[in-house]
A = this chain, B = another copy of it.
C-alpha cells in the first residue's frame, strides 16, 4: 500500500514544474528501472510489484516498496505498468563550457519540443558514445516521462545540459570548433569526409534551426534524397541518425 503522501508526490512529478521544484523525476517500467539501477543515479523511492521486486534488491538503493500493478499504473504515466516505478534525483549539472571535450562531437538540440523525439535523440547520443547533449531553452524537458522512456536508459549514461542559450554558447566556443547543422541547401554529406569533432545542432520539428543558431554554423550538411524521393523533410531524430552515421563512418 503506497502512502497518500508518496502517491501525491509521485503524481506531482508528471508535471515539469514539480520535477524542477523537487529536482526529481520518474523512471517507469521494467526495462527502464533495470537500466536505472545499473546507472550511478540516486534513487529516492523504488516501487515494484511482488513478482518483480526480487530483481531490484540492492544495498545501494532504498528498499523496494511493494505495490500492485493497478497502483503503479495509477501513479505513473504509462498505459500499464506491471513491474516497477522509481523516483530519481535529477543529477547535478556540471558547468557546460569546460566540458566540451577536445576532438569529440557534442549533440545540441534547438527547440526540439516533442519529448519522444528528445528521448530518441538521447538514445542515439548513447549509441554513438557522445559526451553529452546540449538543450536549448525551449526544448522539451529531458526528464519528462516520455523522454526518459524513449531514451532507453541513456538518461543514466549520457549527460544533458538543459535550458542553454544556444546561440550565446556557440558564440563562446573557441575558434576552430566545427558547428554543423542540417540544411537542404548544404553540402552533400556523402561527398564529405566528416570527422566526429565539434557540435552537431539539430533544429525543431517544424521550424528547423532558429536564425540566431543557424548564423553560428560553420558548415551546413545536406542529406541526399533517393532518386524520385519527394518528402520535404525528415523527422529530426532520423536526420540526426543519418548525420551521425556519416560522422562516425570515417573515424
The reply to whether the CB of A52 lies closer than 8 angstroms to some CB of chain B is: no
Alpha-carbon distance between A128 and B152 when the two chains are bound, in angstroms:
28
Partner of A231, one of B126, B230, B239, B242: B126
Once A130-B226, A226-B251, A249-B190 are accepted as A-B contacts, the answer to whether A153 and B231 lie under 8 Å apart by CB is yes
Q: Which residues of B contact A238 (CB under 8 A)?
A: 120, 123-124, 237-238, 241
The reply to whether the CB of A245 lies closer than 8 angstroms to some CB of chain B is: yes
Residue of B nearest to A116 (CB): B116
Once A190-B249, A245-B245 are accepted as A-B contacts, the answer to whether A226 and B128 lie under 8 Å apart by CB is yes
A112 to chain B, nearest CB (A): 14
Bitwise interface map of A from 142 to 158 toward B, beta carbon under 8 Å scored 1, else 0: 00000000101110010
Residue of B nearest to A237 (CB): B238
Bitwise interface map of A from 66 to 98 toward B, beta carbon under 8 Å scored 1, else 0: 000000000000000000000000000000000
A37 to chain B, nearest CB (A): 15
Q: Which residues of B contact A153 (CB under 8 A)?
A: 231-232
The reply to whether the CB of A129 lies closer than 8 angstroms to some CB of chain B is: yes
What is the copy number of this chain in the assembly?
Answer: 2
The reply to whether the CB of A115 lies closer than 8 angstroms to some CB of chain B is: no
Size bin of chain A's contact surface: 35 or more
Once A116-B116, A152-B232, A245-B245 are accepted as A-B contacts, the answer to whether A251 and B237 lie under 8 Å apart by CB is no
Alpha-carbon distance between A88 and B96 when the two chains are bound, in angstroms:
50
Q: Check if B235 sits within 8 Å of A120, measured CB to CB.
A: yes
Alpha-carbon distance between A190 and B193 when the two chains are bound, in angstroms:
13
The reply to whether the CB of A227 lies closer than 8 angstroms to some CB of chain B is: yes
Q: Check if B231 sits within 8 Å of A241, measured CB to CB.
A: no
The reply to whether the CB of A198 lies closer than 8 angstroms to some CB of chain B is: no
Alpha-carbon distance between A249 and B128 when the two chains are bound, in angstroms:
20
Q: Check if A226 sits within 8 Å of B244, measured CB to CB.
A: yes
The reply to whether the CB of A127 lies closer than 8 angstroms to some CB of chain B is: yes
List 20 A-B residue pairs with CB atoms under 8 Å apart, sorted by A's residue number. A116-B116, A120-B235, A123-B238, A126-B229, A126-B231, A127-B234, A128-B226, A129-B225, A129-B226, A129-B227, A150-B235, A153-B232, A154-B231, A157-B230, A190-B249, A224-B248, A226-B244, A241-B241, A245-B245, A245-B246
B-contacting residues of A (Cβ < 8 Å)? 116, 120, 123-124, 126-130, 150, 152-154, 157, 190, 196, 223-235, 237-239, 241-242, 244-246, 248-249, 251
